[in-house]
Amino acid sequence: MTAIEVLGVRQPSLQLPDEFVLVATEHRSRNVEKVRVERYQAQAPPVPFRAHATLVYGNDDRLLSFNRFTVPLDAPLPDLAEAQAIARRVFTELDPDYAAGLEYIRTDKLRREVVDAKGAVVPIPIRWVKFTHENGSYNWVSVGAGGAVVEYERESMWDYRENWRATEEWNYDQWVLARAGKAVQPPAPEAVAWGRDHGR
């Protein structure tokens, strides 16, 4: 595994498999901000739902989201206290000033999925550690088997009137395919894939 770098600083909690290479870079809009979306896989071209990582960077190169969907380790999930400690550490390592504005909400046990090399769907169990921020956004870290960080996201906004996520989800394949008209709209609370800036 290789730790990524953000703004020139190595992030030991955010790691990619050694065989992963950058296979696509796109420029999109997230919360009306121009962002850079990078996808990593073992080889090109990008294949939805297969083992991959997606990283989204803001226009100032801060890391907005990190998603690593790979076959999980054969290890247990950390307990609640350990998962919360890992989540706080990730935010602090990336941006201590931003981390100071976080307030813990709860930890849920959820699962993500990845399709392995044989085409089988493999569950990825996670502890989803969620925070609010003083800027009004939701933020989280998902911690997987053996304490590995599966997801990180900051500055995710919520549409309280419609009761679903307002922030675009360039880091989730199902949403990206729906945005392109190649898949059905993911159910709420996922963001609406067809928006006023469709395709951007």
Give, for all 200 residues of the chain, the pLDDT tens digit.
Answer: 999 999 999 999 999 999 999 999 999 999 999 999 999 999 999 999 999 999 999 999 999 999 999 999 999 999 999 999 999 999 999 999 999 999 999 999 999 999 999 999 999 999 999 999 999 999 999 999 999 999 999 999 999 988 889 999 999 999 999 999 999 999 888 999 975 444 44
Residue 108, sorted as left (phi over 0), alpha (psi -120 to 50) or beta, turns out to be beta
pTM for this predicted structure: 0.95
> What pLDDT is attached to residue 195?
56
> What pLDDT is attached to residue 27?
98
Q: Is 55 helix (H, G, I), strand (E, B) or coil?
A: strand
Any residues with CB less than 8 A from the CB of 103 and at least 6 apart, and which? 131, 132, 133, 134
**Size of the chain in residues:** 200
> What pLDDT is attached to residue 196?
40
> What pLDDT is attached to residue 189?
86
Which helix (H) or strand (E) element contains residue 99? helix 96-99
